[in-house]
Amino acid sequence: MERTAEYIDATSRMLDYRGSRELFAPEAVYQAWLDIEAAVALVQGEMGLIPAEAAATIARTARVACLDMERVERDYVRQRHPLMPLLGELVRKCGEAGRYVHWGLATQNIQQTGTLFLALRGHRILLAVLDEILGHLGRLATAHADTPMAGRTHGQHAVPITLGFKFAIWIDELLQARERLRSVEARVFTVTMGGAVGAFSALGARGPEMQDRVAERLGMHSMSLPSRSNRTHMCEYVQLLALCASSFHKIAEEVAQSSSVEYAELFEVHSDGVIGSSTMPQKVNPKISMGLMANCQKLYALSSMMLQTAHRPFEGDACANVIYDNGTAEAMELATAIFIRAEALVAGLRADPARMEENLHSSDGRIFSESIMMKLAPAMGRGEAHDLVYRAAMESREGGPGFFERLSEPGVAEILFEEGAGQGRPRLKAEGHFGLSPEIARDFGARALRAAEGSAAERPTLSQAGGA
């Protein structure tokens, strides 16, 4: 049965999931377990723990296509064990070599390693999509480095910024997310082969070497102490996915609000024929943003559940097994859904610079208060400059003289306005109102593009990233 962790919406059909939806399909999970059994057998054969001929037979037979999966499914109903029906069929198909299948291992060794084996493939997809997103944002930040707009705090006009600066903020968060996701790979994507409790009780002194060699063969890392009760590394990864999702959530929230009629500044891609409502023909809804935010909410809940399971006691626990193995798979599906939607969102993002300019000036110039105050401060002191600008702003808000007109008195106008300020509406001198917004936008745009281009060159193929 296909997993349904993701909230499916009407936009799902337009999205390219990069093959991620098949990662944790039942057949893929079975094959991952078999790949691990094959890797274990081959390593044990090399080490002389089992006969090399038996190891070769096991590895050759450990394919879903070689097994009677209908028989396996019937045995699942009867045995009610997560792995034994599959192992039993592998043993049967291997003949005499079957006596060496699963040598010295515990079920959770295979299941947990399998979960992380598949998660590593999903992780590589996530990083590739994240790099695509950074590439889109890098180009947008550069293109809009000088596009003026209103900066907002607490939902109100703050100071002028550029659209490129807003994109730079998004880039900075995503570069941090990228760094965090890459930094935990050695700790998270690990092989655990410690047996029943993690003490290598069945394999003894040769167990750690075997685990290291299996990890190398699978393109993974070796768990430092392969305890079945230590899942903080899996929990950490899901928390990082949720944290990264929160950055995408913020982007989606800003786009959704900015596309409202009242703002009309940023918009998702829209094409003729896309319907927003069955009863309101005018609707152009932020569909991608809404689907993204919904899946973020579900991932947050899942990350909380896993965090609350990390304390399960003693050396092994079936409740934690189910939550962590299935929860990690669901988290990967949700994270991929979020990343894919985020890529589609920024790839088609468009801006209305004219409306941004209009909104920038909609507060009668009050948005320039800070820069005006700082221009006046050298002549009259910051406190007096603040009071003067404050009075002008409050009177303007309450229907008194216009903000600029209130600041046109002698001794002030000369500092603030272009020559001829007394003829019509005063014009502020251009310099200093946007801070370093353009420079920051170009800087972070370049950083994003370098990150995306550099990663594309060094990124492993899917078979290298957790391949058998």
Query: Reduced to 3 DSSP states, what percent helix, strand and coil does the chain have, rounded to the nearest 5?
Result: 65, 5, 30
**Residue 417, helix vs strand vs coil:** strand
The 3-state DSSP class for residue 225 equals coil
Highest mean pLDDT (candidates 19-33, 157-171, 304-318)? 157-171
Report, in angstroms and rounded to the nearest whole number, the Rg of the chain calculated over CA atoms: 30
The residues pairing with 153 across neighbouring beta strands, listed in sequence order, are 156
> Residues 335-370: pLDDT tens digits?
999 999 999 999 999 999 999 999 999 999 999 999
Query: Among 25-34, 290-299, 397-406, where is mean pLDDT lowest?
Result: 397-406
Please name the residues in contact with 239: beta carbons below 8 A apart, sequence gap of 6 or more. Answer: 303, 306, 307
The mean per-residue pLDDT over the stretch 120-149 comes to 97
Query: Cα(222)–Cα(263) distance, rounded to whole angstroms?
Result: 52
Cβ burial of 336 (10 Å; 0-12, 13-18, 19+) is buried
Amino acid at 354: A
Give long-range contacts, CB 8 A cutoff, 24+ apart: 73-81. 81/107
Q: Rounded CA gap, 300 and 28, in Å?
A: 26
Q: In the predicted model, is pLDDT for residue 247 greater than 60?
A: yes
Does position 468 have pLDDT exceeding 50, yes or no? no
What are the domain boundaries of the chain? 10-357+444-458, 364-416
* C-beta atoms surrounding 316 within 10 Å: 17
Q: For residue 424, what pLDDT is reported?
A: 62
Q: CB-side exposure of 299: number of CA atoms within 13 Å? A: 31
Q: Across the chain, what does the average pLDDT equal?
A: 90
237/114 Cα distance (integer angstroms): 16
Longest dimension (CA), the chain: 102
Give residues with Cβ within 8 angstroms of 365, minimum separation 6: 396, 402, 403, 404, 428
Q: What is the spatial distance between Cα 299 and Cα 8, in angstroms, rounded to a whole number? A: 14
Pairwise pLDDT comparison (275 vs 215), residue with the higher score: 215
Q: Alpha-carbon distance 156 to 105, whole Å?
A: 61
> What does the pLDDT read at residue 15?
79
pLDDT of residue 273: 65
Give the distance, in angstroms, between the CA of residue 187 and the centroid of all CA atoms in the same chain: 18
- In this structure, are residues 105 and 39 in contact, taking their beta carbons and an 8 Å threshold? no
Reference 417, options 434, 399, 398, 403; nearest CA is 403
Give the single-character DSSP code of 358: H
Whole-angstrom distance, CA of residue 406 vs CA of residue 408: 6
Dihedral pair phi/psi, residue 30, rounded to 5°: -55, -45
User: HSE of 347 in the Cβ direction (CA atoms, 13 Å)?
Assistant: 14
Q: Cα–chain-centroid distance for residue 17? A: 14
For residues 246 and 239, give the distance between their C-alpha atoms in angstroms, rounded to a whole number: 11
Other C-beta atoms within 10 Å of 219: how many? 18
Q: Express each pLDDT in 181-233 by its tens digit.
A: 999 999 999 999 999 899 999 999 999 999 999 999 999 999 999 988 888 99
Which residues sit opposite 160 in a β-bridge?
Answer: 150
342, 371, 447, 461 from 16: Cα distances, Å: 12, 46, 26, 18
Could you tell me the fold of the domain covering 10-357+444-458? Answer: Fumarase C; Chain A, domain 2 (1.20.200)
83-92: long-range pairs with CB below 8 Å, 24+? 83/33, 83/107, 83/110, 83/111, 86/30, 86/33, 86/34, 87/37, 90/34, 90/37, 90/58, 90/61, 90/62
- Lowest-pLDDT choice from 89-93, 153-157, 378-382, 419-423: 419-423
374-407: per-residue pLDDT in tens?
999 999 999 999 999 999 999 998 888 889 988 9
pTM, entire model: 0.90
* pLDDT at position 427: 83
Contact call for residues 58 and 65 (beta carbons, < 8 A): no
Q: pLDDT of 414-467, one tens digit each? A: 898 887 645 567 788 877 899 999 999 999 999 999 999 876 555 544 444 444
DSSP, collapsed to helix, strand or coil, labels residue 152 as: strand
Q: Which pLDDT score is estimated for 465? A: 44
> Is residue 161 helix, strand or coil?
strand
